[in-house]
Structures are given as structure tokens and as C-alpha cells.
Amino acid sequence: MPFAFAGCSFHTDREAARQEFPPEIVPEFLEYRVGERRMGYVRVQRDRTPEDAAQSANANANAKANRDARPLIVFIHGSPGGWNAYLEYLRSAVLLDAARLISVDRAGYGASDAGRPEPNLAQQAALIAPILFSEHENPGQGAAGKPPVVLVGHSYGGPVAVQLAMDYPDRVSGLVLIAASVDPDLEEWRWFNRLAELSFTRWILPAAWDVSNQELKPLREDLTEILSRWGEIRGPVALVHGEDDRLVPVANLDFARDRLRNARVAVHRYEAADHFILWDRPEEMSEIILETLEQAANAQ
């Protein structure tokens, strides 16, 4: 699938978005195209000035080589969502000290053709995959010589991360799956999903909710298709779930643990935590991300 990158900003109110960051952190709003689809993401890294960000599209080879020399953490949001679901993590000093940080707008949200759904899980992953190549180029070295790449997926972002790890094993070093919906038998099409399908309801729903409904409907079938592939994942995987999660049952964690037979799995179950554990416990989640990154680096 052909893709092309551009270093231009995409955020409709990028100055307002930049105000969400302290002065010493300069976010870069980037985009690329995969066929007819536009995809956007935010990149944050240490030692970037506003002038650096403005010249992202024209970065010289040495600057790119220096950037690629650091580990990479890619955040993938749930359904619905956007890159700013991970805003607190993008501003985290401990994470920035350890790696370059990227948060994507998944297909259908934000700068990634908002309102245009992509209901296929494998295609969702394929649309994010160019980031793993463009942000991780290091000519002259094979996959074993590259710094680690850890994907962090929350909710629907979890199965997208899993699909990426299966489809691009040489580009994904580790996974952190937070409240991830990965068990096809636990995917239910509920009354509010059916209501959201009605033409009148779709007309009044915010576009992001309509996109969410359309991508969730085939998820059970998509997860069934990859059932036999869980053994392909071999890097470190952290499974995180709250016992009180009423949106994505904690049984999803048990499902993933039982199928990750070739991976180094760390299980983190939290009592008195629900589906919003990503935002309720950012310090603990960051520690888990760093642990997974360290394990991935040691396994390179």
C-alpha cells in the first residue's frame, strides 16, 4: 500500500493544542497519506525547539538519524477518541526522558479523515503502520539493530496494537494493552449500538460516535479471524485491566494471557479500577510502559 509523508501541521487549532504543553515541550503535528486516506499524529521528543518543529518536513539526514537512535512509544486510542486521549502521557517527563512519543488519530477521528470510518481491524493497523517505518528508519541496520518500539493501546486501541504486532513483527518490540477488548466472545452488540444504527439517530449523533459504532460492529468477526495468530507475538506484553470495568470485562485480560504463549507476559489487575484506568492512574501506567520498554530493549 503506497504512502506519502508531509511535515505540515494539521490541527485546526494547533496553537490552542500547544498551550496544553509546558514551554519546554514542543509538539509536532504531522500527517501522511495512505492511498486516498489522510492520517495524522502528534510527535513529542526532547530537545525540540519551535524552529525544529516548523522545519520537520525538511529535517536533514543527521537530525533524522539522531531521532531514530531513541526508543519509540506509540499510543493508540480507543473508540471514540483522538491523540489527546494520551495528553498527560505526552507531557510526562519520565516518558520523554526514555523515548520519543507519538500519539495517533486513528482512521475516522481528528486529523485522520474525521467522520470517515474504517471498520476493518486489519486496515486500521495498516493505516498506522507507515509511522513504524518513517519514524524508525535507520539505513544500514536490520531490525535487530533498531531501538525498541512499544505500542500502547487502550480499549479498541488494544486490538489495533495486537494486529500491528502480528502483521509487522520486525517493527514492534513490545505491547502495553490497557483495558483492551480482545476476546471475540465478549463482544456484544448492545441495545444502544442498535439504536445508533437507525438513520434518524445517525443524523443527530456526533460524527465521532457514529464512526465508533460502525467500527465496533465488525470487531467480533475481526477478532475471530486472528484467534490462531496470538502465538506470533513474542516480545514483552503488559496486560492491564481494572476489576470494575463494565465496558470491557476484565475477562479480556485472562483471554489474552492464555493465548500469549510465546510472549513474556506481565499481568496487572487492579481492584477498584474501571475502564478509565488510563486516566485515573497515569503514574502507574507510565511505570508499566517504562518496564515494558526496558524489557523490549534488553531483548533486542
* The pLDDT value given to residue 209: 77
* The pLDDT value given to residue 195: 53
* The pLDDT value given to residue 204: 62
* The pLDDT value given to residue 37: 97
* The pLDDT value given to residue 3: 39
Give the distance from CA 282 to its chain's centroid: 16
* The pLDDT value given to residue 158: 98
* The pLDDT value given to residue 146: 77
Cell of 104: 495517533
**Which domains are seen in the chain, by residue range?**
3-299 (3.40.50.1820)
* The pLDDT value given to residue 9: 35
Mean pLDDT split into 10-residue runs, the chain, 300 residues: 39 75 93 96 80 51 57 97 97 96 98 96 98 69 70 98 97 98 86 53 70 92 98 98 97 98 98 97 98 93
pTM for the model: 0.88
* The pLDDT value given to residue 4: 45
